[in-house]
Amino acid sequence: MRKTFYFIMSLFILAVAISCKDSKPKSVMSQINGTEDSVSTNDSTIYGTMVDGGMNSIILLTDNGDTVEYLVNPDDTLEVVKGGKINGDRFAIIGYKEYGDYFMRSAINLTSLLGNWTSLDRNFEIKEGGTVSSTLQSEKNPWTAWKVWNGKLILSKDTFTVENLGADSLALENKAGIFVFTRGK
């Protein structure tokens, strides 16, 4: 009789433990224009507006309202800021914290990214608000949307690393190769 009692109690405690296991708080999905964007929940990019900076730093007013100074690591051999630094421009920064300071792993000037870009087989305009318009009728699979996610530029379904972003040139790289564009009129 005692064994049956302990067996039933063990089953009851096990059932309570299993039912409590699924009561973890669920992550809240961010909403943009009333629609859920599941990709942005795992985005480690910090977005904001540059309010000040110097040769080796950017002071960013983040979209969350925080003011953070990001430094360039002096050991970096590659240029981490793509598109130049101008006060008032929007930036997408991937950073890390070391020794109490915030450092940039990569920074893309989103304001410099906007505009017309052309190559031999593509002619498109990156617009504010995440849209891309193509002006070549013969273009296969034209890009229609853009965003930065985890420091990468996503043009529709294609994901790129921004290798170079200058006043008149844009170089994007993915597994298919490096694509170079010039700024159109």
Locus of tokens 């530029």 = 153
Q: Residue 144, SS3? A: coil
Going by the DSSP 8-state scheme, the letter that residue 84 receives in this structure is: -
- Residue-wise pLDDT for 56-85, tens only, equals 899 999 999 999 999 998 887 788 999 999
Same CATH fold assignment for domains 42-110 and 113-183: no
Going by the DSSP 8-state scheme, the letter that residue 65 receives in this structure is: S
State which fold the 113-183 domain adopts: Lipocalin (2.40.128)
State which fold the 42-110 domain adopts: OB fold (Dihydrolipoamide Acetyltransferase, E2P) (2.40.50)
- Residue-wise pLDDT for 35-63, tens only, equals 334 445 688 999 999 999 888 899 999 99
CA distance linking residue 49 with residue 62, whole number of Å: 6
Q: What is the pTM of this model?
A: 0.73
pLDDT at 77: 74
Domain spans, the chain? 42-110, 113-183
Among residues 172, 6, 175, the alpha carbon closest in space to that of 83 is found at 172
**Residue 151 binned pLDDT confidence (cut-offs 50, 70, 90):** very high
Using an 8 Å Cβ cutoff, are 118 and 184 in contact? yes
Give backbone dihedrals phi and psi of 12, rounded to 5 degrees, phi first.
-65, -45
